[in-house]
Chains A and B, each alone.
Chain A
């Protein structure tokens, strides 16, 4: 590779990945669909051309060798070309990392042997037509390899062990058998693939892109128009200031009110249009995020085959739903988890060829990977026809690690036993040590699936196989949460886990074996009284939420359900010790932050039992501000301003009212005017500072007075800050409140 062209590598890699995807799609149909044969030929040829142009010799030569074999039209070609495509993928990924490893010489030799033989047919009788393999040929590798054995023995002994298997049995039905291949020779161990389509660059339809750009321009125009409204509000503010010196201030106020209302109406209309545009914009952006699953599935198939080669198994991979679209952010998050399921299927699901034969199954195991669109959901299925999960073994293990006692183990049903697989205790102690994996147990898979708002199911049958089903939403948008009230606390729960809410009567909760269970007409469900978890007094009105987490029912008691909200959930940075029950923080439309409970953590009975009865610290309390001003207009203005910032605001019309409020509730900050009847702001501040309880309560003075002596006096009596109304900057006030109240 010349350095001069090094910057073109990403372009080439992107193109090559595309072509390899198409090759992987068409190679299995090579012998049945003439159009696929044409496509394979063309893709190989073009990839070769591109490789030569980029001067990546190894890749071009492998393509070339494959082309020659293609001209030869040999039986067993699908398996051979599948290997070529896999090898090319390895090469392309190497190129993307800036290196160019040599092509597997054995593979090239094998290709040459095949091509050469076709050029000079060994037998006097013409070779059998390659189109559809005869049943005998399809049944096993020995039969179909006939044609090539002789030459390999003579020429390349190493290659003979690698001779292609027969094409998969039946002509492909809609799900197309990818290939059959299982060499005896040791191969590079399969590394989990990084699929090109999920991370990095995305293909976007230019029409869709144009629409987004156009919409963005509209939003910008509307945003700019908002500036005019702001200017008018400033004008009104100036008018109000002048009105202070009028002999009849009430008249000024009346005029102001009318004008403000008009501005508000205008603002409201603009706001509505803006929201509509923003929503359209979001919708379009989301549709851009939806990408076909092709690359994703193909990389899994490739991985399954490589892994099979590495562990000496024979595997046929069937793909379905390459065109199914899924939000690439969801796909990206799921990738590791799904790879784990694929790895399990090949490594532990599928039996060795010998065992399979003994069980009268085809030597090659079948791994089916499907992406099925189902309305707003996508169902990802990873199924194998292997030995199935050993239910008795699972229960035994659970008892051994102390997750289940002997008594409940005896009565444990299949479904319940399978759920044990997803518990953290089980998989960390069992899966990782004994079964392959790289530390990712099924509990982690379940967690990841939950995190993207999906569900994980497993079906298994002894000797027939296992099927993992991952159901995820097709797109990730603002998440829907149920806003709950627990005592004084607001907290949210992902709406997807909530199935129904019912009133809780006295007899609905029972204690059994140290667990709290809710009694439903049909069964007992683990019960979590949130009020107790959060150290709040149990309220009189209890609502029971029945949810399902990882297929496991769960009931929560809360004081009230305040409705469903569309929110953006942000993950919590774990730098500071926070509430372990939370998986994130959601910002409500008002800007108020609320904690979002993690259903999977809640569901972990072990965790719940270990919890102390009361948890002292409340998670995310809003800053509470006491606002003191005798002018209703000023008060309401400042209240809006502070509430918009997410603060909880109580207002008092004079200092006395303020003092009585302070006696009843606790506040984090006081914002007060100076000129008030009876007791002014200076006196209020002085009095608060004299009381031990309020000695450190932050006080911010906001006044029309801006003479230096007033400022000085304010600070002298103990105010922490002094702002003037004339130049009141919303951001400054909010910052001050936040800073002084220490939040």
Chain B
């Protein structure tokens, strides 16, 4: 049974959210808080497995509450926010940086209401599995990264796939990358539709790189970071040309799909690409990563200790799709050494 704490200053909203869970057998609402301060106290008192929290609240807002919850009793947090407002979305990603794991949109109309009713329990189940407390690796999957670095290659593009816990991990990874890197980044992050733009905005503000949503036909140059927009697969073609495909159906329930991205890399230019598979539930990206590796590309995954959900990276390691498992910053350092090799001569 997953115990959920609902945090929203509107009793009506809480009541409706409660209904969303009423139909599930495995999720139970253990408490309701009307503001962030109450939420922090109730996390301590009730020890819920998951917190579902609004961002805009009196007394202590969701962002500040996330910080405190992560400090006193790290608990998986799903934040709810309006996606109509770009500023609000920034706050959502700031909350994710502080430890919130997922963001879902507050409904605007009937379809989005239906979508929330369906996705909220599923998201709660996913984040309930997350490891939020700091911990040490139980299994060492790491191969010595030095072995990789020795093989000469010309690294031009880094393709990254992530799901739950991804925004914080991606941010950490990019934080380690120096300004004006000699490579371009492609990112597929599973996120509630509508939040891709907010994610891009947030990264763009944080880093000196040019971070945007990818456009069809655009050429990915060095120093650029491009995110797959919602509802379209993102592919890399020869010469760094980006392709968006909103015709092909979702792969394993995802569009954009990480598998699709990695497959396209494996097909066009495997030796110029590093595939990086980060934290998340499920197995999206594993097949593509395996294909990339077989085709001669470098494949890296996030290690268990740093993963919020050690799902996709675990399957990748089990299937032999990855060369190395490391925390985000170490992944970045490895990439830097790799492109350093290629860039020197």
Chain A stretch 38-81: residues in CB contact (< 8 A) with chain B: 42, 45-47, 49-50, 52-55, 57
Q: Are B113 and A11 in contact (CB under 8 A)?
A: no
Task: Specify which of B9, B10, B58 is in contact with A53 (CB 8 Å cutoff).
Answer: B10
CB distance from B236 to the nearest CB of A (A): 38
Interface residue B72 (Cβ < 8 Å from any Cβ of A): no
Which residues of A (1-51) have their CB < 8 Å from a CB of B?
4-5, 8, 11-12, 14-16, 42, 45-47, 49-50
Cβ of B136 under 8 Å from chain A: no
A4 B11 Cβ-Cβ under 8 A: no
- Complex interface: chain A residues within 8 A of B19 (CB): 4-5, 8
A637–B275 alpha-carbon span in the complex (Å): 100
| B10→A49 contact, CB < 8 A | yes
Please name all residues of chain B whose beta carbon is closer than 8 Å to the beta carbon of A53 when the two chains form the complex.
10, 12-13, 16-17, 106-107, 113
B108, CB-defined interface residue at 8 Å = yes
Residues B11 and A15 in contact, CB atoms below 8 Å apart: yes
Give every chain A residue within 8 A of B54 (Cβ-Cβ).
49
User: Which residues of B lie under 8 Å from residue A47 when comparing CB positions?
Assistant: 10
What chain B residues lie within 8 Å of A8 (beta carbons)?
12, 15-16, 19
Contact B12 A15 (CB under 8 A): yes
Given contacts A4-B19, A5-B19, A45-B56, contact A52 B10 (CB under 8 A): no
A8 to B20, CA, bound (A): 13
Whether the pair B106, A55 counts as a contact (CB closer than 8 A) is no
A46 in contact with B56 (CB, 8 Å):
yes
Residue B66 lies at the interface, judged by CB distance under 8 Å to chain A: no
Contact B12 A55 (CB under 8 A): no
Tell me, in angstroms, the Cα distance from A382 to B134 when the chains sit together. 64
- Closest residue of chain B to A42 (Cβ to Cβ) is B56
Contacts A15-B10, A15-B11, A55-B113; A49 near B16 (Cβ below 8 A): no
Contacts of A15 in B (CB 8 A): 10-12
Closest approach, in angstroms, between the C-beta of A49 and any C-beta of chain B?
6
Q: A5-B16, A8-B16 are in contact. Are A52 and B107 (CB under 8 A)?
A: yes
B248 on interface, CB distance cutoff 8 Å:
no
CA–CA, A11 and B12, complex, Å? 6
Q: Which residue of B lies closest to A41 (CB)?
A: B56
> Which of A4, A5, A50, A55 is the one whose CB lies under 8 Å from B10?
A50
Contact assessment for A12 and B56 in the assembled complex, using a CB-CB cutoff below 8 Å: no
B82 interfacial by beta-carbon distance below 8 Å: yes
* Residue from A4, A12, A50, A54 with most neighbouring chain B CB atoms (10 Å): A50
- Bound-complex Cα distance A16 to B12 (A): 9
Contact status B113-A46, CB under 8 Å? no
A50 CB → nearest B CB, Å: 4
> Would A52 and B15 be within 8 Å (CB), given that A42-B58, A45-B56, A46-B9 are in contact?
no
B9 touches A52 (CB 8 A): no
What range describes how many residues of A lie at the interface?
Answer: 10 to 19
A49 to B82, CA, bound (A): 8
Residues of B within 8 A of A49 (CB): 10, 13, 54, 82, 106
- Residue B110 is within 8 A (CB to CB) of chain A in the complex: yes
CB distance from A169 to the nearest CB of B (A): 32
Are A55 and B110 in contact (CB-based, < 8 A)? yes
Interface pair B56/A50, CB less than 8 Å apart: no
**Least CB distance, A1 to chain B, in whole angstroms:** 12
Residue of B nearest to A71 (CB): B85
Who on chain B is nearest to A52 by CB?
B107
Complex-state Cα separation, A382 to B15, whole angstroms: 40
C-alpha gap A14/B106 in the complex (Å): 21
B4-56 at interface with A (beta carbon < 8 Å): 9-13, 15-17, 19, 54, 56
Q: Give the distance to chain A from B163, nearest Cβ to Cβ, in Å.
A: 27
Map CB proximity to A onto B96-126 as digits: 1 under 8 Å, 0 otherwise: 0000000000111110010000000000000
Q: How far is the CA of A53 from the CA of B109 in the complex (A)?
A: 9
Q: How far is the CA of A57 from the CA of B109 in the complex (A)?
A: 8
> Which residues of chain A are near B109, meaning CB under 8 Å?
52, 57
Contact B16 A54 (CB under 8 A): yes
Closest Cβ–Cβ distance, residue A57 to chain B (whole Å): 8
Bound form: Cα–Cα A15–B15 in Å? 12
Cβ proximity bits A484-523 to B, threshold 8 Å, 1 near / 0 not: 0000000000000000000000000000000000000000
Query: In the complex the two chains form, what is the Cα distance from A47 to B8 in whole Å?
Result: 12
Query: Nearest-CB distance from B6 to chain A (Å)?
Result: 12
- Rounded to whole Å, the gap between the CB of B168 and the closest CB of chain A is 26
**Shortest distance from the beta carbon of B32 to any chain A beta carbon, whole Å:** 12
User: Which A positions have Cβ atoms within 8 angstroms of B?
Assistant: 4-5, 8, 11-12, 14-16, 42, 45-47, 49-50, 52-55, 57
Measured CB to CB, the residues of B under 8 A from A are 9-13, 15-17, 19, 54, 56, 58, 82, 106-110, 113
What are 23 A-B contacts with C-beta separation under 8 Å? Answer: A4-B19, A8-B12, A8-B15, A8-B16, A8-B19, A11-B11, A12-B15, A14-B11, A15-B11, A15-B12, A16-B12, A45-B82, A49-B54, A49-B106, A50-B10, A52-B106, A52-B108, A52-B109, A53-B10, A53-B13, A53-B106, A54-B16, A55-B110
Top 3 nearest A-B pairs by Cβ distance?
A: A50-B12, A12-B12, A50-B10
Inter-chain pairs besides A45-B82, A49-B54, A57-B109, 19 sampled, C-beta below 8 Å: A5-B16, A8-B12, A8-B15, A8-B19, A11-B11, A11-B12, A11-B15, A16-B12, A42-B56, A45-B56, A46-B56, A49-B10, A49-B13, A49-B106, A50-B12, A52-B109, A53-B12, A53-B13, A53-B106
